[in-house]
Structure 1
Amino acid sequence: MSRKLRALLPDLSPWRSSADFRLLWVQGLVAFFGSSMALIALPLQIAHLTDSPLAVGAIGAVELVPLIVFGLYGGALADAVDRKRIILLTEVGLGVAAVVLLVNALLPHPLLWPLYVVAAAVAALAGLQRPALDSLLARIVPHDQLTAAAALNALRWQVGAIAGPALAGVVVATAGTATAYAITAAGFAVSVVMCLRLSPAPPSDTAEKPSLRGIAEGARYAWSKPVLLGTYAIDLAAMFLAFPNAVFPFLAADLDAEWALGLMYAAMPLGACLVGLTSGWASKVRRHGRLVVLGAAGWGLAMAAAGLTDDIWLVLLCIAIAGGGDMLSGLGRSTIWNQTIPEELRGRLAGIEILSYSCGPQLGQVRAGAVASWTGTRGAVWSGGAACVVAVGLLAAVLPKLLSYDSDTDEDAARRRAQRQAQDQGGGPAPAPDGVQDRAHAPEQDPAATA
């Protein structure tokens, strides 16, 4: 029994084997808690200055475009320059942004326009940084520990998503927005010091300068790989069709449970966190495409059930189960990306992933609100969940290679594994395994690359 229980606990192998992983894990947790302060304080300050829900909602509008544009550029940049340098400089920039918010909050009459400028700047910096962070994982963690590393990273974010906003709410309510911004700035200062200790992560000798052509090359590679394409498409469909957070206040009112609104927002990360805390088994999974499909389908089914029940506790349970399904799907997606994408394209593919990461939930909020205005809140929730299940099923049928993906036999995973083994042994680039051609270095053999 004790062995079975230990098998469920998170696999800590990446933590033990990689000093850089430990640094990034702790640094990310510190930065997340610091950012949570500003995440709560910024919309609250805008609300106090304007007394306008529209003005608060405009934050999302000013953030979306910089996140997408700089995310795509950041992906190309991550393949062309030292990724440690990108992470370090963007952390410095985020710290400067927090100082600007602090100075503005200390003014006798704080100004409104700097809040939007800083929000856009933070989104741009996050877009530049995320591809470098995401593409660094496969370099600092052994190939066979990538699923465990993805689980630990996701667990860190889920713990932060639950505890960070709760702590930030207390700080803002008791000490004010200026104190919250000061804590944010201090958090980024600590984060910068930790980033200075990271090992350099220079690009390959053949790396080119960031360009639209380079971004297009990454897009063509993703389009040519049905497994990768499936991960992007399923994530985008699941978030667009079944992300109902925008209508939670109305759902709580329909159920005569306004007191449970905060629990609704917390239930999703709680479900994901529980899966992360019992994710030890995931390190033994080889069919990661099935995790993507089953997790996304479970997300949709749980959301459909949440919209069909009128018991608030069952609704909360369904939302938590949905969060667990999203966690499973995310583990599969992250592992496939890190196991198969060539090192020289990893940043650009991470930049493309930002499109589903940022656009999916944003568009899902719009969809949920629009459908709720036509069919009612509960109809918007259950219909979105049902549509998600159908869409995931259709995508899995159209892209069967995603379901059949096996990390032991997949050609791209085998090539990447051989390259990593050669790197660990201190040699040069490993030759492709027998019968496996490196399409990243031979675009003339790739039909999509010559289209």
Structure 2
Amino acid sequence: MTTVKQRNDPGGRTGIRRWAIDLRPLRIPAYRRLWLGTGVGGCGSQIALVAVSVQMYDLTRDSFWVGLLGVATFVPLLVFGLWGGAFADVLDRRRLMVASSVLAWVTSFGLLAQALLGADSPVLLLVLVAVNSSAFAVSSPTRQAIIPRLVPTELVPAANTLSFTTATATMVAGPLLAGLILAVWPPAVALPVAYGVDGLLFGAAVWANLRLPALPPAGSSDGVRRTAGLRSVIEGFRYLATTRVLLLSFAIDLVAMVFAMPRALFPAIAEDRFGGGAAAGLLYSAIAAGSMLAGLTSGWLGRVGRQGLGLVLAVVGWGVAIAGAGLARQLWLVVLLLAVAGAADLVSAVLRQTMLMVHVPDEMRGRLQGVNVVVVAGGPRLGDLRAGATAAAFGTGIAWVGGGVAAVVLAVLLAVAFPALRRYRPTGAGTGAR
């Protein structure tokens, strides 16, 4: 018998559960394994991210070189993100995930080897980071394209939120653990330990991908042979060009990340203002901590009607919080404001990804997720370069605060100039504002 409560709440989520994170996708074994492996492996990757940045700054004493790590990440993302998405639409996605994760695992042990051998080469660090980024550029759009094949359509927003929240949790735990390692041991010991832990944890991601079911491309039984050539990539861009709101959602995310991502400044700020050590780990984990807390209370996101306006407000909130953190001089206040920025970023990410994932057909999903990877993962790397270059020219204060202010101004101008973004409301699966 259907009760009144069940009719009013068809999802079975009442009271506080309507605000808490939705865990229903974890009941599906294939998704649960993918979620677990990605989370554990992601924690190791975040440890390596902090270790590489700290090692680069120790070797060069220059934030510009730290910013170059962003370039070494972005260029492979730009190339292999687009091609990786195209491959995800024509190949078995499980096999693609296994191959890309194994390549990333190899680079983890490459970082360990260079630390143990005392190579002390900034160029070698850039090369290893570039190879790792190439693997990520293939695996990330493939993984996102897999999710709607593993869970029912009505659980896609919940699965997205779980994935984002877990990713941000790794961005908290990883940098904090990295900071602890850096604080306990001298660099000669701490760096190999950090890279070794990364290699150990990333093995979970490889295991999870091996346990995925076969995921052949959609429509592969129709007799039409599809290829991942340039034409396939162009088809994805043509589809994207017909969907104005998706273009605008990408544009406003680029504004937020390119102009207001202060990550490349963290090693210098940690040392100059707060004495180094664990401070670097706190700065690197703060944004993710805010995102994680927002994710744990994200039940309301599925009920947001004006998703476009919500996206704009989230980006503005991100910029304001980043600028405020740059002005703060107490470590606790910097961490708090960065956490507020992270909460805004979680809201932005869930709304944007849901808009993209629900309205794109499966045969196009890999290619559009490839574009999404270029924007979402490439934007912060360009932000690293901008921050490092600006800091080298004008100082860390201007690079940090000025970037936050610029993001707010540009986001508002974009929303005013293109009202389709702020007016966007979901109109059902398979459709959307054009």
2:71–2:382 CA contact under 8 A, matched in 1: no
Residue correspondence of structure 1 range 375-394 to structure 2 within 5 A: 377-394=396-413
Alpha-carbon distance in structure 1 between the residues aligned to 2:418 and 2:200: 47
Say if 2:175 is the partner of 1:156. no
Question: Residue 211 of structure 2 aligns with which residue?
Answer: 197
| Structure 1 residue 227 displacement after superposition | 1.3
Cα distance, 1:375–1:115 mapped onto 2, change above 3 Å: closer
Is 1:241 matched up with 2:259? yes
Q: CA deviation at 1:330?
A: 0.5
Query: C-alpha displacement at 1:4, in angstroms?
Result: 4.1
Partner of 1:28: 38
Offset, 1:297: 1.4
Query: Does the C-alpha gap of structure 1 residues 378 and 95 become closer, same or farther in structure 2, counting only changes over 3 Å?
Result: closer
- CA contact under 8 A between 1:145 and 1:283: conserved in structure 2? no
2:361 is the counterpart of 1:347: no
How big is each residue's C-alpha offset from its partner over 1:264-301, in whole Å with a ceiling of 9 and x where there is no partner? 33321121111011111222234322331121111122
Q: Contact conserved, 2:48 with 2:194, CA < 8 A, in 1?
A: yes
For each residue in 1:319-356, what CA deviation from the matched residue of structure 2 results, as whole angstroms up to 9, or x when unmatched?
A: 22111111110110111111111111111111112222
- CA offset at residue 81 of structure 1? 0.5
Aligned to 1:421: none
Distance between the aligned counterparts of 2:256 and 2:305, measured in 1?
23
* 1:188 partner amino acid: F
Aligned equivalent of 2:235, options 206, 212, 217: 217
Matched residues in 1 for 2:394 and 2:57: separation? 30
2:16 aligned partner: 5
Conserved? CA contact 2:71–2:385, under 8 Å: no
Q: Structure 2: where are the runs of 5+ without partners?
A: 1-12
2:93 matches 1:83: yes
Q: What residue in structure 1 maps to residue 4 of structure 2?
A: none
Other-structure match for 1:403: 422
Q: What pairs up with 1:256-267 in 2 under 5 angstroms? A: 257-258=274-275, 262-267=281-286
SS in 1 for 2:226: coil
Answer whether contact 1:99 1:181 (CA < 8 A) is retained: yes
Task: Provide the residue aligned with 1:427 in structure 2.
Answer: none
Q: Deviations over 1:337-380 (max 9, x none)?
A: 11111111111111112222233223323434555567664444
What value does the CA root-mean-square deviation take over the aligned residues? Answer: 3.2
Q: How many residues align?
A: 410
Q: Secondary structure at the match of 1:405?
A: coil
**TM value normalised by structure 1:** 0.80
TM-score relative to the length of structure 2: 0.83
Q: Aligned-pair distance for 1:25?
A: 0.7
Q: 1:312 to 1:106 in 2, by over 3 A?
A: closer
Kindly name which structure, 1 or 2, has the bigger radius of gyration based on alpha carbons.
1
How many angstroms apart in 2 are the aligned matches of 1:372 and 1:118?
25
Q: Is the 8 A contact 1:75 1:351 kept in 2?
A: yes
Q: Which residue of 2 aligns with 1:359?
A: 378
Deviation at 1:190, TM superposition (A): 3.3
Structure 1's 392 and 58: CA in aligned 2 closer, same or farther, altered over 3 A? closer
1:328 and 2:347 are equivalent in the alignment:
yes
Report how far residue 23 of structure 1 moved: 1.0
Structure 1: gaps of 5 or more residues: 417-435, 437-445, 447-451
Contact 1:306 1:314 (C-alpha < 8 Å) held by counterparts: yes
Supply the distance in 1 between the matched residues of 2:148 and 2:30 (Cα, whole angstroms).
Answer: 11
1:81 is paired with a residue whose SS is coil
Q: Take 1:306 and 1:111, find their aligned partners in 2: how far apart are those partners?
A: 33
Structure 2 counterpart of 1:14, from 20, 25, 28: 25
| Structure 2 counterpart of 1:62, from 72, 81, 95 | 72
Structure with higher RCO (Cα < 8 A, 6+ apart): 2
SS of residue matched to 2:21? coil
**Contact kept? 1:368, 1:380, Cα under 8 Å:** yes
User: Which stretch shows the higher mean deviation, 3-12 or 317-326?
Assistant: 3-12
Q: From the superposition, tell whether residues 194 and 317 of structure 1 become closer, same or farther in structure 2 (CA, over 3 Å).
A: closer
**Sequence identity percentage:** 38
Give distance in 2, aligned partners of 1:227 and 1:236. 14
Note the alpha carbon deviations across 1:205-247, whole angstroms, 9 max, x for none: 2462111111111112112101111110010011122222334
SS in 2 for 1:209: coil
Instruction: After superposing the two structures, state which structure 1 stretch, 351-360 or 341-350, moved more.
Output: 351-360
Q: Which amino acid aligns with 1:27?
A: G
Counterpart Cα distance in 1 of 2:166 and 2:343:
15
Aligned runs of 1:157-196 on 2, under 5 Å? 157-171=167-181, 174=185, 176-196=190-210
